[in-house]
Structure 1
Amino acid sequence: MPELSKMKKPDVKVVLLGDMNVGKTSLLHRYTERKFKDTISTVGGAFFLKQWGPYNISIWDTAGREQFHGLGSMYCRGAAAIILTYDVTNWQSLSELEERFLSLTDTANHDCIYALVGNKVDLTDPKAHQSQDSDVASEDRTDSEDMRTEPQLPTPPTSPASLSGVMLQKQVTPEDAAALYGRILRYKGLDETSSQPAEKMCFETSAKTGYNVDSLFEALFDLVLPSILRQRNENQESPTVDLEECRGSSNKRAKSSCC
């Protein structure tokens, strides 16, 4: 484990919230590791640090299971952006966002940005089988070339639809997500006319194919940039004291005064 003094300090925090099995962890792995893999349910929460240009963004993956529900409020504390995630083939996963998870965001920053993300769209829409993110497609091609020289185990299917090739019915439409986004703004007391419009903050993604995943995270990172710059300015105006540095300087003064 690296020394705490040498770890990069995050400039801003992004948190993923949503019910279990909606694919939060898979979305994060697709973005950070450029590939899809089956995952087990997150216990508590997991922390990832993403370097975005000169900035460091912490991304928190939270557990969707009921027994870890109370931890969500702690993870949301001080968040600059929250990704509320649901499964497009499961209406209940959307309603859970409003019923269980929205109140957890009360500890986020007052100017927190909210995005609604419908994952697993590859199960309902053939166009999601072709990734929109060129670098993800390039990575997939590289993986295919590597398989010629080094055998790899195939990725296990994630649903019956993957086995049959039959598209599932989408239970949550973009209009449903946009309506919930409007209710989130009203719950937060935010002015809808000055907030980001629903069409910019509601996404449909596929962690399995990479569809829209990069677009989601890059759009959010662009939107939290003002928060990063404001926080850096505040830190410059009120710099923190480095205790290790103070100890070192006091030791030098003690040695120099000694006969």
Structure 2
Amino acid sequence: MPDVSKMKKPDVKVVLLGDMHVGKTSLLHRYTERKFKDTTSTVGGAFFLKQWGPYNISIWDTAGREQFHGLGSMYCRGAAAVILTYDVTNWQSLSELEERFLSLTDTANHDCIYAIVGNKADLTDPKAQLSPNSDSFSEDQTDIVEDRTEPQVLSACPTPPASPTSLSGVVPRKQVSREDAMALYGRILRYKGLDEKSSLPADKMCFETSAKTGYNVDALFETLFDLVLPSILRKRHENHESPTVDLEDCRGSGKRVRSSCC
């Protein structure tokens, strides 16, 4: 067990929210351990401390089960970024983000950044079925996907597909389009009272990922880390302006400070 007194203090907090079985824990494992794990439902919450350059970022994985719902608000307190996660083959998981989880972010920072992430893209998208390390996956393919500049039409009230499966009843069908996720992002900005024109654009903050193959997982986390950098620098500046006393350093000095009261 690591020495708690030696653990580094996080500079900023990132929180994953979403319904159970959407793959939040698997996304975290894929990014931090570089592999896919079949996981059980998270109980309460857990966090991982990621060193990113000279900074320390705590990534909180929260439970999606109803009985742990109330804890989400506590975990979101002071968050600089929230990853709202859904399953691309499950329309209800997207709906739950707005109905159950969005209100939990009221305790996050006022300038919190929101990302909408559709996981399990490998079930419906051939591009996501390829591992980034695969011989058939090239940087040119990634550039083609990310440099697309086709206009996106946001659906004000999208309608879910009638069936989650194909005609064969075996292969899952994609129930949530990227446009649906972008429309949700716009509603989140309005819920937060933010100006859409001055906020980060929806096409940059909506991701489709696969924890199983690693598709877009690094891009998701690294994009967010870049975006929360101003929060880190501001927090460090505030701490520099109002320094606190480290009690461990005082104890380690071996000196007693005499009281100077008169």
Task: Say if 1:89 and 1:168, in contact at 8 Å, map to a contact too.
Answer: yes
Aligned to 2:180: 176
* CA–CA distance in structure 2, aligned partners of residues 19 and 11 of structure 1: 27
* CA–CA distance in structure 2, aligned partners of residues 101 and 51 of structure 1: 28
- Residue from 180, 201, 204 that aligns with 1:200: 204
Shift of 1:4: 2.7
* CA–CA distance in structure 2, aligned partners of residues 58 and 244 of structure 1: 22
Alignment of 1:1-259 (within 5 A): 1-131=1-131, 133-134=132-133, 167-249=171-253, 251=255
* CA–CA distance in structure 2, aligned partners of residues 3 and 35 of structure 1: 26
Shift of 1:246: 3.0
Unpaired stretches in structure 1, ≥5 consecutive residues: 139-160, 255-259
Task: Say if 1:80 and 1:224, in contact at 8 Å, map to a contact too.
Answer: yes
Give the 3-state SS of the residue equivalent to 1:15 in structure 2: strand
Aligned to 1:257: none
Shift of 1:103: 0.2
* CA–CA distance in structure 2, aligned partners of residues 16 and 124 of structure 1: 23
Relative to the length of structure 1, the TM-score reads 0.83
Give the 3-state SS of the residue equivalent to 2:255 in structure 1: helix
Shift of 1:127: 1.2
* CA–CA distance in structure 2, aligned partners of residues 208 and 202 of structure 1: 19
* CA–CA distance in structure 1, aligned partners of residues 199 and 5 of structure 2: 38
What letter matches 2:210 in structure 1? S
Task: Say if 1:125 and 1:167, in contact at 8 Å, map to a contact too.
Answer: no
Task: Say if 1:78 and 1:109, in contact at 8 Å, map to a contact too.
Answer: yes
Shift of 1:169: 1.2
Instruction: Map Cα deviations across residues 101-155 of structure 1 (whole Å, 9 max, x no partner).
Output: 0000000000000000000010011111113x45xx59xxxxxxxxxxxxxxxxx
* CA–CA distance in structure 2, aligned partners of residues 84 and 248 of structure 1: 43
What letter matches 2:7 in structure 1? M
Task: Say if 1:115 and 1:202, in contact at 8 Å, map to a contact too.
Answer: yes
Shift of 1:227: 0.3
Shift of 1:224: 0.3
What letter matches 1:198 in structure 2? A
Shift of 1:242: 1.3
Relative to the length of structure 2, the TM-score reads 0.82
* CA–CA distance in structure 2, aligned partners of residues 173 and 244 of structure 1: 52
Give the 3-state SS of the residue equivalent to 2:115 in structure 1: strand
* CA–CA distance in structure 1, aligned partners of residues 211 and 124 of structure 2: 13
* CA–CA distance in structure 1, aligned partners of residues 33 and 18 of structure 2: 21
More helix, by proportion: 1
Task: Say if 1:11 and 1:57, in contact at 8 Å, map to a contact too.
Answer: yes
What letter matches 1:79 in structure 2? A
* CA–CA distance in structure 2, aligned partners of residues 31 and 227 of structure 1: 22
- Count how many residue pairs are aligned between Structure 1 and Structure 2: 227
* CA–CA distance in structure 2, aligned partners of residues 248 and 93 of structure 1: 51
Give the 3-state SS of the residue equivalent to 1:251 in structure 2: coil
Instruction: Map Cα deviations across residues 186-228 of structure 1 (whole Å, 9 max, x no partner).
Output: 0001111111000000000000010000000000000000000
Shift of 1:17: 0.1
